[in-house]
Structure 1
Amino acid sequence: MNDSSPLAMRRRAVGHSQDDAARAAGVDRRTWGRWERGEATPYPRQLPRVATALKISVEKLDALLNSAADSSRSPGPSSNPSSLHDLDDMVNDWIGLSPTGGPSPGRALRVTEEDLGMVRQMLAVFRQLDHTYGARQSAGQVTDFIERQLNDLQQRPAASPSIAHQRAMLTAEACELAGYQAVDNGRPQQAQAYYQRALNLTVATGDHAYGAYLTAVNLGHLALHCGEAELALRWASAALAAAGTAASPATRAAITAVVARANARLQREDEATRLLLEAERLLDEGGSDEPPWIGYFTHAYLADEAAHCFHDLGRPPTARGQLVDALGGVGTDRVRRRAIDAALLASTWIASGELDQACAVGTEAVEYAARTGSGRCVERVGAVLGALGPHSGYAPVRELQEFTRAVLPAAVTG
């Protein structure tokens, strides 16, 4: 036993034996012992109870666990992976459907359909808030819902195996949303932790289609966001191959679009174009039996993916055509999506040397972004202003800069 480990020292400081601490954290003594020896670390869902047992905040617990991992140099499931490449083993586990991280059958859990209905309603509310206002306003509520209500449901018996399966998948969907919001708030490491938990749940339940979606669409987009196009390509391609026909047409279309995005980022135009056409064909095949979690992926969302592809490939006119379809087909309540697409449209006009058009559309992007708390919207508007910087002497550019400074000052760097 490593009695000098930070976790052990903190346990003794609050007067707990290992049995006391394990009981308070809801685990057995052997698991607690492995944590103290640095052989493993708690999963994100366990952190609030562990922190309560040790009478510290989750943030301080996270620092304590990182300190213990550094001193022991023993890898374990981390709530704060250091880089995207640390997720490779987890993705490989998912591809092989290795059982990792799910709830133990011995603690299987009396939850009813009414409980699940409440979870579905809350998720629908959180998703709508996220689409309209971005992540900043609701991210805390989503994480609190996961760490309190959903974790409480995990500790209760399920009324049937079907209820247990649905509970796990709804928890995975909530973790996916929390991860997406972490990206929106500029916290990629927190996103990795929630995506990892969601993927572990799909492994435990054997839902390969949703696991493919998570691997390609969530992790793949995260890799692209972090500038790791090769990693995004590897993950999305593996997900596409592993999903096969188990995934619905719309799900495969969304995955294929991410493979296209990665190829476009790597300047492989022919392959990116081929994949976009394949995604469109798959989306046309979709019917009314698509899973509800992929319902958002319409032709308008595919047009958005295509626009990003053509923008990365240096084809602004083609990107503009796709953006017209994307903005025309997305609902007015999808404020964040409209802000991002309007900013990208402004960028295509800048690339074509059309400053008047760029400023007009850029103003729309600022108006949309100012209605959200989205960090990505601020980042996209900032990029537009940065590209217009050399033209600050031009009156429409000055007006856009002044307008942005008044309503969205976070996007103005100078």
Structure 2
Amino acid sequence: MSAWWFGALPAVRDLIDNQHSQATMQQPRTAVTMGQIPKELEPTRSVLHFFGAEVRRLRQTLGMSQADLGKLIFVHKDLIRKIEAAERMPAEELVNRCDDALSAGGALRRLWPMLERERRLRLSRDAAGSSVFRSEATDRPVLDWLLASTHDARRYRGDDEIASAAAEKLGQLRGVDHVHGAGHTYPDLAAVLDSDLDTLIARAPAVAAGFLELAGYEAVDLGADGRAQRHYLRALEIVTGVGDRLYGGYLIAVSLAHLALHCGDPDQAARLAAAALRGTEHQITPVVRATFRAVLARAHARRGDEAACAAALLQVEADLARGKPEDEPAWIRYFGEADLADEKAHCFFDLGLHELAQREATQAVTLLEPSRARRLAIDTALHAASLARARQIEHACAVGRRAVDHAAGLASFRSAHRIGLMMAELQPHADLPEVRDLAEYVHTRLPTLVTPHSR
């Protein structure tokens, strides 16, 4: 029996979120349609669809009926039908029971963190909460930034010794994060924020904002979208207060807009990128403008607007060609051809232009520094997913193995998520030998990403 895998987080999740649902099930999103023909699922549409498809596949492989499975896990067969049709969100206990009853070897259990995140994102559309990302929470801080006058910025006392030491620490944490993922660095970063943030805000606000930006980035990497948003907004508040217009634009157009994309709101991402472009038109440099427009291109692609996406990408290329490293702020110098190729690959994947997506993903992986392990894992997995959508299954599995190898040393929710999405693309071909082999490879190659969920 092949074991489908989906990455879970290391125990460091408890640092950022300890609120887990205790309910057995959630109410259905849509009315139930009765009938004898199983509902067609799209495993890549959502984690809930992937979970339902896997439960159905594993159940049918074992020759079980829905009633048989229901008896084994002590629920009605109608609940099994709704789970398999992606009409009901399971709770953790039900996921665990299905994993045991279907001999999934932990494959279903490891989907739980993603299912829980998806549940929270759905709930956030109807109710405010601190544990989830909410698009509307960014509106007032961005307006405050737009209306702020740099002439009225607060004066602050510089302290070179404190700023230098903190900046060095921040650089070290960034380096470890790139290589090992947020699971290794967030505890240290959280300790700095707990003990030193107020001092840094008073003496080195730019460094304080940098710590918060990294904390937000790492919170995303740990699957804590609400915490990431709060970190980013706190950083925006600081730079607004001290009149750092350009870095404020970066937090809006890159950090918060990428988070909006990650949480499924391309409209908000486009609004944020456009606001940052308008608000920095007198201070912006070519490479900074390129990063803002790259996010705008991503938002257009996610909305299916190919023409707008292409126009934005052309502007990004022109901006990069005009940029001079010595004229750019230090915090943007990371963005170059590899990052542009990464942004293009995601755009083309979302637009269904798979030959272009594969070309750009290959380019990104070729140009990336070996130390950027998480980005290598994500881009390689995206390449494999694109190949799977193009029905090049054997090639997709070969590239998928390389993605697993890149992810093997990481404690990263985002990398695990991308590997999971890659496997979801291959789910319709789960009976092919090469897909089964890849599933087993993922299951055995990434043990450090798999930890039992503590109750």
Match of residue 95 from structure 1: 146
What letter is aligned with 1:258?
V
In structure 1, the partner of 2:198 is 151
- Asked if residue 265 in structure 1 is aligned to residue 302 in structure 2, the reply is yes
- 125, 130, 134: which one aligns with 2:172: 125
Is the CA contact (8 Å cut-off) linking 1:80 and 1:193 kept in structure 2?
Answer: no
In structure 1, C-alpha distance between the alignment counterparts of 2:222 and 2:16, rounded to whole Å: 19
Q: Structure 1 residues 205 and 153, CA, compared in 2 at 3 Å: closer, same or farther?
A: closer
Could you tell me how far apart the structure 2 residues matched to 1:131 and 1:82 are? 24
Alpha-carbon distance change, 411 to 264 in structure 1, aligned in 2, over 3 angstroms: farther
Q: Which residue of 1 aligns with 2:244?
A: 207
Q: Which of 402-411 and 385-394 deviates more?
A: 402-411
Name the SS for the 2:327 alignment partner.
Answer: coil
Asked if the contact 2:381–2:419 (Cα under 8 Å) also holds between the matched residues in 1, the reply is yes
Taking a change above 3 Å as real, the CA distance of residues 141 and 349 of structure 1, as seen in their structure-2 partners, is: same
Letter in 1 for 2:346: H
RMSD: 2.4
Shift of residue 384, structure 1, vs aligned partner = 1.1
Q: 1:367 to 1:269 in 2, by over 3 A?
A: same
Contact kept, 8 Å, 1:311 with 1:348, in 2: the verdict is: yes
Partners of 2:350 and 2:427 lie apart in 1 by 21
1:376 matches 2:410: no
Structure 1 residues 335 and 82: alpha-carbon distance in aligned structure 2, compared to 1, 3 A threshold? closer
Percent identity between the two aligned chains:
37
Tell me, in whole angstroms, the C-alpha distance in 1 between the residues paired with 2:303 and 2:345: 15
Structure with the bigger RCO (C-alpha within 8 Å, sep 6+) is: 2
Asked if structure 2 preserves the Cα contact closer than 8 Å seen for 1:307 and 1:323, the reply is yes
* Structure 1 residue 81, shift from structure 2 partner: 7.0
Give 1 or 2: higher helix fraction.
1
Change (3 A) 1:316 1:206: same
Confirm whether residue 249 of structure 1 aligns to residue 286 of structure 2.
yes
SS of structure 2 residue aligned to 1:260: helix
Q: 2:335 aligns with which of 297, 301, 314?
A: 297
1:154 deviates by 4.2
Q: Given that residues 381 and 411 in structure 1 are in contact (C-alpha distance below 8 angstroms), is that contact kept between their aligned partners in structure 2?
A: no
CA contact (8 A) 1:336 1:372 kept: yes
Q: How many residues align?
A: 324
Task: Provide the TM-score with structure 2 as the length reference.
Answer: 0.68
Amino acid at match of 2:146: I
2:399 paired residue among 351, 358, 361: 361
Q: Tell whether the 8 Å contact from 1:172 to 1:198 is kept in structure 2 after alignment.
A: yes
| Change in CA separation of 1:275 and 1:330 when aligned onto 2, cut-off 3 Å | same
Question: Quick check: 1:404–1:411 contact (8 Å CA) kept in 2?
Answer: no
User: Does the alignment pair 1:85 with 2:136?
Assistant: yes
Partner of 1:135: 182
In structure 2, C-alpha distance between the alignment counterparts of 1:255 and 1:122, rounded to whole Å: 27
For 2:407 and 2:283, locate their aligned partners in 1 and report how far apart those are by CA, in whole Å: 38
More off after superposition, 310-319 vs 241-250: 241-250
On the 8 A contact 1:379/1:411 being kept in 2, the answer is no
Among 390, 393, 406, the alignment partner of 2:444 is 406
> Matches of 2:432 and 2:188 in 1, distance apart?
44
The residue correspondences of 1:16-165 to structure 2 (distance < 5 A) are 83-97=134-148, 112-154=159-201, 164=203
Q: Which stretch has the larger CA shift, 256-265 or 388-397?
A: 388-397
Whole-Å separation in 1 of the counterparts to 2:365 and 2:133: 36
Task: Tell me if structure 1 keeps the 8 A contact 2:16–2:227.
Answer: no
CA contact (8 A) 2:131 2:225 kept: no
| Alignment partner of 1:220 out of 251, 254, 257 | 257
The 3 A distance-change label for structure 1 pair 277 and 411 is farther
Preserved contact between residue 286 and residue 319 of structure 2 (Cα < 8 Å): yes
Q: Deviations over 1:313-332 (max 9, x none)?
A: 01000111111211111100
Q: Secondary structure at the match of 1:138?
A: helix
Q: Deviation at 1:390?
A: 2.0
Unmatched 5+ stretches in structure 1: 1-56, 61-77, 156-163
- CA apart distance, 1:240: 1.1
Query: TM-score, normalization: structure 1?
Result: 0.74
Secondary structure of the 1:272 match is: helix
| Residue pair 1:184, 1:375 contacting (<8 A) in 2 also | yes
1:391 maps to which residue? 429
CA pair 152-211 structure 1, distance change in 2 beyond 3 A: closer
Contact kept in structure 2, 1:80 and 1:192, CA below 8 Å: no
Residue 93 of structure 1 aligns with an amino acid whose one-letter code is: D
Q: Which amino acid in the other structure matches residue 135 of structure 2? A: L
Out of 256-265 and 82-91, give the one that drifted further.
82-91
